[in-house]
Structure 1
Amino acid sequence: MSDKATLMEQAVPKSAWVKSSYSGGGSGSDCVEVAPLAGGRAIRDSKNTSGGELRLTEDRMTAFLTSVKAGAFDV
């Protein structure tokens, strides 16, 4: 089974979600939540918890965070 299939099949308990300490900026309404998965992480918008999740392997999560810190997604 691939890493992607394994990540997608895992259930994420409601209690596993943690709000990022880096979220907030000003009003505190720009919040991201992260949950651990075996082999990766799940990410979602805390204001729209039923709006879907981004699931990344550990390597992809590291690359994503490196890009965010470098300003790759700044508008």
Structure 2
Amino acid sequence: MSHTDVTHGRWRKSSYSGPDDGNECVEIATSPTHIAVRDSKTPSLGTLTFPAGAFAVFVSALKESEDRPA
């Protein structure tokens, strides 16, 4: 699957999507080399595609920032 095919893959909603905030989340689709991200409320408006390694660094940075005191 090329990175251009990732948007035709299986989309998954964020694990934070629940009954109270289910309308405000992102969806992702993955391939071996790329991650695609879109707004679950308006998926037809656009998709961002990232190299898998860059996305992993981004997610790690978010997790680290959650652990830091405000």
**TM-score above 0.5:** yes
Instruction: Name the Cα RMSD after superposition.
Output: 2.2
Query: In the superposition, relative to structure 1, how do residues 67 and 24 fare at CA in structure 2: closer, same or farther (>3 Å)?
Result: farther
Q: Is the 8 A contact 2:38 2:46 kept in 1?
A: yes
Report the Cα offset of residue 32 of structure 1: 0.7
Query: In the superposition, relative to structure 1, how do residues 25 and 60 fare at CA in structure 2: closer, same or farther (>3 Å)?
Result: farther
Number of corresponding residues: 64
* Helix, strand or coil at the partner of 1:63: helix
Counterpart pick for 1:65 among 41, 59, 66: 59
Counterparts in 2 of 1:1-75, with a 5 A limit?
6-7=2-3, 9-10=4-5, 12-13=7-8, 16-24=10-18, 26-69=20-63, 70-71=65-66
Q: TM-score, normalised by structure 2?
A: 0.70
Which blocks of at least 5 consecutive residues in structure 1 are unaligned? 1-5
Which blocks of at least 5 consecutive residues in structure 2 are unaligned? none
Percentage of identical aligned residues: 34
Aligned equivalents of 1:35, 1:11: Cα separation in 2: 6
Report the Cα offset of residue 66 of structure 1: 1.7
Q: TM-score, normalised by structure 1?
A: 0.66
